[in-house]
Amino acid sequence: MIFVTGPRYAYKQKYIMDRLGMSEEEFQNEGLRDAEELVREEVSPEKMITLADALAREKRVVIANEVGGGVVPIDEEERAFRERAGRFSCLLAGKAERVIRVVCGLGQILK
Give, for 108, the enclosing helix (H) or strand (E): strand 106-109
List strands edge to edge, sheet with 61-65.
31-32, 61-65, 2-6, 98-103, 106-109
The domain that holds 98 is classified in CATH as 3.40.50.300
Residues of the chain with pLDDT under 50: none
pTM of the entire predicted model = 0.94
DSSP-assigned letters across all residues of 58-101: H-SEEEEE--SSSSPPSSHHHHHHHHHHHHHHHHHHHH-SEEEE
CA distance 25 to 71: 36
What is the domain count for the chain?
1
Asked if 60 and 2 count as a contact pair (C-beta separation under 8 A), the reply is yes
pLDDT digits (tens, 9 = 90+) for 39-58: 999 999 999 999 999 999 99
Please provide the average confidence, as pLDDT, over all residues in the chain.
Answer: 96
Q: Distance between CA 16 and CA 82 in Å, rounded?
A: 24
- Domain residues for the domain of 73 are 2-109
